[in-house]
Amino acid sequence: MDLMKRVAMVLLMCVATSVATDVAHAQSAADVIPRPPELQPDVDFWIRVYSQITTNDGFLHDERDLTIVYETLRFAPNTQPKQRSAIVDEARKGYQAIIDRLLTNPPSSELTAEEKRVRELWGKAGNDRLRTAREGIRFQLGQADRFHAGLVRAGTWEAHIAQTLANLGLPPEIAALPHVESSFNPAVYSKVGAAGLWQFMRSTGRRYMRIDSAVDERMDPFRSTEAAAQLLAYNYRLLGTWPLALTAYNHGAAGMRRAATATGTTDFVRINRTHRSPSFGFASRNFYPSFLAALTIDQNPEKYFGPIERASELKFTEVVLPSYVPVRAIERALAVDRATLREFNPALLPTVWNGERLVPRGYRLRLPGNGKALTSEELAKRLPDSEQYVAQIESRSHRVKSGESLASVAKRYGIPARQLASLNGLPVDAGVKQGRTLRLPERMPALVSGAAVAAATAGASAGAGADVAEPGRVHVVRRGDSLSAIAARNGVSERELMRINGLRNPNYIFEGQRLVLVADGAAAEGTAAVGEAASAAVVAAAPREPAVVDAPVVAATDAAEVRDTPAVRESREDEAAVVASAQRASRAEPVSAREAEALGPALVTGGESVPSSVDAVDYSVASDNTIRVVAAETLGHYADWLGVSAARLRQINNLRGGQPVLLGNKLKLDLGKITAAQFEQKRRDYHYALQANFFGMHRILGTEIYVVRRGDSMWSISQRYARVPAWLLQQYNPDVNLGELRPGAQIVVPRVEIVAEASS
């Protein structure tokens, strides 16, 4: 009996401990992902949108006060979007007429039943608020059918998402975010170019993923989950609270920092209720409340939808590609059909499947099953040497010059005129205008030799930090080297040097990189792979920034031109799309599932998804016409952007000749020739281009903390982390004056990896 009592007591204590632990966990979660009571009406609105009305229904409601729902509009399933819009417009005009009537303050006895109902909705609101309400009548399409589908789909990836968040120490509740972003549909694109489960723009995605002519990892739920976790961790480090960090996923870290500064608080409720900005519209204000609603449903879906049968978890193994390989060779070597490969590898673009591009070296190929994974070495042995290449297939084109003809261009490149005409959809005797771009036959890269396969395989297995030894003539890049100078000294053309080493951008060579110097074409075929492997897997070395000034705290580069590469152009397209999206945000009210998908898969419509730039550095001009000097800027840049001489800037800032501008210092501008807004735009354009070029070749894998030691400076730290340019270090530490580092200060340093192929 005593034994039974003791067992019962132990069980009771275990239960009590378990309950206490659950309560502690609940309290901890509430602290991490707070649910302010002031936001509960907003959360309740989104719960209704996500669980009570489908894409055949919608609420006509007040834009600011989500407790005011005038009417639930219901459409027949076959009603066309144009007809739906007409119904919404008619209903909106009806309520505007009612509010106009209420603004005349008629006696209650003279009001119709409908006017009385609307009056009761607004309670004691005065005429000023009613006038605002008249212009703020908004339509919100229901989402219950999309949300239910997302709950089912989520089962495929929820284990990986949970593991990824746990690995970075992020709150597990964040796993509900794809409900808001994409309804867990990994194949969707938004109207502004965001893509995938987590809805990344290209320029943001390139920070953490591979996006080029063969691969777009935004479409891979596993890789994009890892990227989203990195971005959210970055937001949280900068902003300090999860309401702000999650809102920044929609509005941008820089935007949320500006909102906190403008309102003088990091309290999300106050920012939500009081912050006024053209870009902080309905979508940004409601992103966190809608996330809380999605989280509420996700934690107890049966309450809202009844029994849910989740999709089963995807089981697979991965193998790292040892070289560039046609997809047909993988099919034969692994006896896996193409449909299965496509299903498991959604990041591979159509250019790979139609043979225009190779599956790139270093790509993590996903295969069905959960058995023993194939190694890179084993895959290299299965693949024939005749189908393993050192680099990607090269697209080529020619811009027609004055006096050139189809025949002369064909002769220049050693191809039949008929083939060139066919490639460009022209008759063989067609004339070609000056300035026209002609498509040329694509150039196949060199084959990988047996020895080089082993070296490349070792590099792929070890990662981008591996040291690869190679035979033959080799040049180790030194500080100050340029590709053109190396080529001239060694009797090799710059173009040939790029081809031999599998380089895509002549401006991205870096200290410690090993370049193979073989001018002979036959020799190049045998050694190019080694040079390419070394280029992609070189020992810690920084991407070369032109004319780096050898001083501890000066801005990182001179006024060298930032090249207009495809990555830069795409970055500008992303930015333009986001700006256009923000401008039309208040008008983005889809009335059907089809329109909602066209605008974007995010369930909170009316704005962009992940911003095109996550740069949190402040590039604005202060009211006294001063700026703070940031990394990668010099006096030459400022003079060029302002249209004045550097001497003029030295004069008004009392700088001696040759004295550098220091990071973090204030600098006064001469705005006699341009406005502050024009200067800010030029400044941002420069930094966007700088970043786009860099992230065309690199990606961020994570972060580490560096504790500043006595004697450390920005210069010494940049030497320690040679792949991390000063401007990127500043983005991760925007509130740290990198020009005045103190011993014991903690610096967040991103871990950077070289991507094997530049974006095409």
Give tens-digit pLDDT for 664-688: 899 999 999 999 999 999 999 899 8
Residue 279 CB coordination number (10 Å): 20
Residue 393: which residues within 8 A CB-CB, separation 6 or more?
356, 357, 358, 442, 443, 444, 445
* Res. 42 pLDDT band, cuts 50 70 90: very high
What pLDDT, on a 0 to 100 scale, did the predictor assign at position 513?
A: 63
CB 608 within 8 A of CB 192: yes
Higher pLDDT pick, 486 / 611: 486
Higher pLDDT: 157 or 543? It is: 157
Find the distance separating the first CA and the last CA of the chain, reported in whole Å: 78
pLDDT tens for each residue of 182-198? 999 999 888 778 899 99
Using alpha carbons, select from 321, 331, 330 the residue that is nearest to residue 360: 321
pLDDT class for 703, splitting at 50, 70, 90?
very high
**Cβ(757)–Cβ(697) below 8 Å:** no
pLDDT at 659: 82
**How far apart (Å, rounded) are the C-alpha atoms in residues 341 and 316?**
11
431 vs 421, 438, 676, CA distance in Å? 10, 12, 48
The tens digit of pLDDT for each residue in 232-260 reads 999 999 999 999 999 999 889 999 999 99
Q: Structure tokens of 77?
A: 């399933």
Backbone phi, psi, residue 657, to 5° = -60, 130
Mean pLDDT across the chain = 82
Contact 334, 359 (CB under 8 A): no
Q: Per residue in 43-58, pLDDT tens? A: 999 999 999 999 999 9
Query: Confidence class of residue 417 from pLDDT cuts 50, 70 and 90?
Result: very high
Q: What pLDDT shows up at residue 474?
A: 67
Q: How large is the greatest C-alpha to C-alpha distance in the chain, in angstroms?
A: 108
Query: What pLDDT does 96 receive?
Result: 98
Percentage, residues of the chain above pLDDT 70: 78
Which residues neighbour 8 within 8 Å (Cβ) at sequence distance 6 or greater? Answer: none
Strands 437-443 and 394-399: antiparallel
- d(CA 456, CA 361) in angstroms, rounded, equals 8
Does the pLDDT of residue 527 top 90, yes or no? no
pLDDT value for 756: 58
CA distance 250 to 582: 11
Is 80 exceeded by the pLDDT of residue 220? yes
Check whether 538 has a pLDDT greater than 80. Answer: no
In Å, how far are 330, 334, 388, 501, 502 from 392, measured between CA atoms?
Answer: 16, 21, 11, 12, 8
Q: How far, in Å, CA of 22 to CA of 8, rounded? A: 21
Q: How far apart are CA 318 and CA 367, in angstroms?
A: 6
Q: What is the pTM of this model?
A: 0.79
CB 268 within 8 A of CB 244: yes
Q: Say yes or no to pLDDT of 314 above 90.
A: yes
